[in-house]
């Protein structure tokens, strides 16, 4: 494909704009073991990480193409000793910089160094609103207290702060206490994101998917809090994200394939979404190609751009320009073929898989202790079992 739109095939495709959002997945190392982590199941096989200089070159190329926002994530990005240097480099290039962290490993001293580097924004994730459940999900007894302490320190440093809670069947019923905690911690934004099923979350879906009743109650509680907070003049903004599994139309995943989002994995694979490395599609490495080529010319980034690739029912659907056929990763995980319509769509011949999962959520007795936790040992076992 070329950007001038000169070929007949290209003419039918929308123009390709630059990647506005760069996600730098600095590492897969992480001190926690959340069973809903979106990292790949075989992350333990991926030990290599880009060097400081290689990352900065990626930032430079992305910025030159027009990227404006960068997220530092992982794994836990705080394990990278060069994080202040990476933040400073991105900031000096003109990026709006966002740290996505569990808060484990954060210290007052690090916050000072990030402030000096020019970090704009911090998102801290919690597992639950109480220490016991937080520890059961994260696999760390100390994590909850550390998160509380660091959330307070982040505010004291004057950062805009997002608190993120991944909701699932084991914590969604404490949503009122979660919101209370966020208000107490003076979060500017609160993301109450119901678990989406990629990576480890997909592996543990039976034990994580809430029931429809749980979702509806949670939505009600959020609504009440929004009203109460508006009346009291609270500035905390509550975002509630429902799971795809209770929708009848798919989401326009990543704003469209290769449309605005570019993710780079720890060892340098460039992806149009953070889950795409599981797809049977070849994706380029930033060590072998520049981002200009990767974004505009590579096979992987063009594979699902536009509409020509779509089979029915997406091809003739009048909503295809809104949802782009849904999520390619979800289509692949649930149907074995990434070209299919996302089974979330009620028009998909595979929608029965979603209905079956909802039914399973009503019947399962699975406890937290039965979930497969995201750690190196489990990752290696899964890799060997699938080899
Ligand atoms: Fe990969 Fe939706 S998460 S396309």
pLDDT tens per residue, range 164-173: 999 999 999 9
The residue assigned the tokens 């780079």 is: 264
Separation of alpha carbons 330 and 275, rounded Å: 9
- Ligand 1 center to 275 CA (angstroms): 6
275 lines ligand 1 (CB under 6 A): yes
How is 211-264 classified by DSSP, letter by letter?
Answer: PHHHHHHHHHHHHHHHHHHHHHT---EEEEE--GGG-SS---GGGSTTTSEEEE
State what percent of residues in the chain have pLDDT above 90.
91
Minimum CA distance residue for ligand 1 atom 1: 329
Nearest Cα residue to 28 out of 103, 65, 79, 94: 79
Q: Tell me whether residue 30 is annotated as binding.
A: yes
Q: Which ligand 1 atom is the nearest neighbour of the CA of 327?
A: 2
pLDDT in tens, 186-218: 999 999 999 999 999 999 999 999 999 999 999
The 10s digit of each residue's pLDDT in 66-99 is 999 999 999 999 999 999 999 999 999 999 999 9
111 CA to centre of ligand 1 in angstroms: 32
The pLDDT, as a whole number, for residue 236 is 87
Cα(245) to ligand 1 centroid in Å equals: 15
Between the alpha carbon of residue 290 and those of residues 16, 54, 128, the distances in Å are: 17, 11, 41
Which candidate, 132, 153, 156, places its Cα nearest to that of 144? 132
Give the count of beta carbons closer than 10 Å to the beta carbon of residue 81.
8
Decide: helix, strand or coil at residue 378. helix
Q: How many CA atoms lie within 13 A of 98 on its CB side?
A: 18
Q: Going by C-beta distance under 8 Å and a sequence separation of 6 or more, which residues neighbour residue 176?
A: 221, 225
Q: What is the ipTM of this complex?
A: 0.86
144: Cβ–Cβ under 8 A, 6 or more apart, which residues? 126, 127, 128, 130, 131, 134, 135, 138
Does ligand 1 have an atom closer than 6 angstroms to the CB of 328?
A: yes
Q: Is 34 annotated as a binding residue?
A: yes
Per-residue model confidence as pLDDT tens digits over 13-57: 568 999 999 999 999 999 999 999 999 999 998 889 999 999 999
* CA of residue 344 to ligand 1 center, whole Å: 13
Pairwise CA distance, residues 295 & 2, whole Å: 11
Closest by alpha carbon to 276, among 253, 307, 308? 253
Alpha carbon of residue 117 to chain centroid: 25
Please provide residue 60's backbone torsions phi and psi, each rounded to the nearest 5 degrees. -60, -45
pLDDT reported for residue 13: 54
Measured CA to CA in angstroms, residue 37 lies from 32, 56, 381 at distances of: 10, 26, 17
Pair of tokens at residue 279: 């797809």
Say if ligand 1 is within 6 A of residue 181 CB.
no
**pLDDT tens digits along 244-288:** 999 999 999 999 999 999 999 999 999 999 999 999 999 999 999
pLDDT at 112 (0 to 100): 96
Return mean pLDDT, the chain: 93
């Amino acid at each position: 494909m070329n950007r001038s739109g000169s070929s007949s095939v290209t003419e039918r495709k929308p123009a390709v704009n630059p990647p506005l959002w760069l996600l730098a997945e600095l590492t897969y190392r992480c001190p926690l073991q959340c069973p809903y982590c979106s990292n790949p199941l075989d992350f333990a096989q991926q030990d290599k990480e880009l060097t400081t200089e290689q990352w900065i070159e990626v930032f430079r190329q992305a910025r030159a193409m027009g990227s404006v926002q960068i997220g530092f994530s992982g794994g836990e990005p705080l394990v990278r000793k060069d994080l202040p240097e990476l933040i400073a480099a991105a900031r000096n290039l003109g990026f709006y910089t966002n740290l996505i962290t569990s808060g484990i490993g954060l210290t007052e001293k690090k916050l000072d160094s990030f402030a000096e580097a020019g970090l704009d924004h911090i998102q801290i994730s919690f597992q639950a609103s109480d220490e016991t459940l937080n520890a059961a999900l994260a696999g760390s007894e100390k994590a909850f207290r550390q998160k509380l302490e660091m959330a307070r320190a982040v505010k004291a440093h004057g950062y805009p702060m997002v608190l993120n809670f991944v909701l699932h069947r084991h914590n969604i019923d404490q949503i009122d206490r979660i919101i209370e905690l966020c208000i107490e911690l003076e979060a500017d934004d609160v993301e109450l994101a119901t678990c989406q099923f990629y990576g480890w979350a997909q592996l543990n879906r039976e034990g994580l998917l809430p029931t429809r009743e749980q979702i509806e109650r949670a939505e009600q509680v959020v609504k009440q809090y929004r009203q109460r907070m508006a009346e009291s003049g609270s500035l905390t903004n509550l975002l509630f994200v429902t799971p795809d599994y209770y929708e009848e139309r798919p989401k326009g995943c990543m704003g469209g394939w290769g449309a605005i989002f570019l993710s780079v994995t720890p060892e340098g694979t460039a992806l149009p979404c953070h889950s795409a490395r599981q797809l049977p599609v070849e994706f380029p490495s930033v060590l072998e190609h520049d981002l200009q080529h990767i974004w505009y010319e590579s096979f992987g980034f063009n594979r699902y751009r536009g509409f020509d690739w779509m089979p029915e029912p997406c091809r003739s659907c009048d909503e295809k320009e809104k949802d782009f056929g849904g999520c390619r990763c979800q289509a692949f995980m649930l149907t074995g073929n990434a070209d299919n319509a996302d089974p979330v769509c009620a028009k998909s011949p595979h929608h029965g898989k979603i209905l079956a999962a909802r039914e399973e959520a009503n019947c399962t007795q699975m406890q937290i202790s039965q979930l497969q936790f995201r750690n190196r040992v489990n990752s290696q076992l899964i890799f060997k079992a699938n080899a």
